[in-house]
Structure 1
Amino acid sequence: MKFLVISDIHGSEGCLKTALASFPDFDMLVLCGDYLNHGPRNPLPEGWNPKGVAEILNPLSGKIACVRGNCDAEVDEMVLSFPCLSPYANIFAGGGRIFVHHGHLYERERLLSWLPEKTVIVSGHTHVALLEEDGGRIFFNPGSISLPKCPEGKTCGTIESDCSGIRRVALHSIEGKLLREIRL
């Protein structure tokens, strides 16, 4: 199974289109929050069109696993055709576990104490890409597709699993270039 992991869209229709076009063969879309709104601390992202983002995501609703970001609100569910306000999601794939949260509620130490080894812990929020192992767990932040705050620029990620568990976690540019990966 192939998961496309996107965070911090912040209403950028153009960046979302680019990321989805670069990875057309995903089985599930994992969204780490901050879908439509740019928030008071951020500039308007390139291609800002929250309605356009909703129009792209809604037909994919059957393939989406997602969590609430700090810029998401109840009003967003009025235009999105999937529930998007959970603080976290657990995805079990081939004996592996993916724990998804936005990144503003749960600290690393708490997650290390809560979640078993071999869990892939996915978050967004910081707009800074991260892929590292800590305490037998993989911490993965795919960065932001619209408002990056890291040298890699606009990024997203993929997670691949098979019947034995999670096999690969990778960070990519939104154009599809592989930037780094961890193979399990």
Structure 2
Amino acid sequence: MKWMIASDLHGSAYWCEKLVEAFRREGADRLILLGDLLYHGPRNPLPEGHNPQKCVEVLDVLRDKTVAVRGNCDAAIDQVLLPFPIMADYLLLDLGEKLAFVTHGDQWGEGHPPAMAKGGVLITGHTHVAACTKHNNFLYLNPGSPALPKDEGHRGYLLLDGARAVFCEMDGTVYREITL
């Protein structure tokens, strides 16, 4: 199964549309959203194309292919509007020989990981900075943010396809690939 993972859309209908285009172009089977979907947050500028209502409409086309976790900017009203569940703090993703702990990143993150079996994978968003770091006990992956990348980072998403993790720019350009 080919998973597309993205985070921190922060209400940008423009980048939601680009994400749906990328999902189709990549031939992904499922989309995992790592939270902070509609609200831009008090510390962030308004992203390009900020229109949370339109974001809901755009994401609706992938309603049966999308799973999500709650971000620190997501609220109960967001769940009322969105057509797929978003209020879970984390999900576990079976990657065959490895298990991934998937969460937004505000409660558990690279510097404060959850309890995981050695060799596990931790996937978060929250920082708006793409990352791929091998630690002693786990591999850390973060797709960054399409809407509000920080530190002049990549504006993109992550693909998990079998034992491969592929980091892509929004136009599909691969800038990093690793074996899990």
Question: Normalising by the residue count of structure 2, what TM-score does the alignment of the two structures yield?
Answer: 0.91
Alignment of 1:8-47 (within 5 A): 8-24=8-24, 25-47=27-49
Q: Does 1:56 align with 2:52?
A: no
Inter-CA distance 23–63: structure 2 relative to 1 (3 Å threshold): closer
Equivalent position of 1:133 in the other structure: 134
Q: Which residue of the partner structure matches residue 174 of structure 1?
A: 170
Q: Give 2:116's aligned amino acid.
A: L
After superposing on structure 2, the runs of 4+ consecutive aligned residues of structure 1 that deviate more than 3 Å are 93-96, 107-110
User: Letter of the aligned partner of 2:143 in structure 1?
Assistant: P
CA RMSD, Structure 1 to Structure 2 (Å): 1.6
Q: Which consecutive residues of structure 1, in runs of 5 or more, have no partner in the other structure?
A: 162-166
* Range moving further from structure 2, 148-157 or 36-45: 148-157
- Displacement of 1:109: 5.6
CA separation of 1:106 and 1:95: change in aligned 2, threshold 3 A: same
> C-alpha separation between the residues in 2 aligned to 1:62 and 1:120?
25
1:23 deviates by 3.3
Tell me the equivalent position of 1:77: 79
1:111 CA displacement? 2.4
Give a deviation string over 1:76-102, Cα, whole Å, max 9, x none.
Answer: 011111110111111124343221111
Separation (CA, whole Å) in 2 of partners of 1:63 and 1:93: 17
Count, aligned residues: 178
User: Match for 2:122: what amino acid?
Assistant: I
Residue type at the aligned position of 2:102: V
Tell whether the 8 Å contact from 1:132 to 1:138 is kept in structure 2 after alignment: yes
AA of the residue aligned to 1:67: V
Q: What TM-score do the two structures reach when normalised by structure 1?
A: 0.90
Q: Judge conservation of contact 1:172–1:178 (CA < 8 Å) in 2.
A: yes
Cα distance in structure 2, aligned partners of 1:110 and 1:78:
31
What per-residue deviation string (whole Å, max 9, x for no partner) do you get for residues 129-153 of structure 1? Answer: 1012112422111000100003333
C-alpha distance in 2 between matches for 1:107 and 1:2: 24
Q: Which runs of 5+ in 2 are unaligned?
A: none
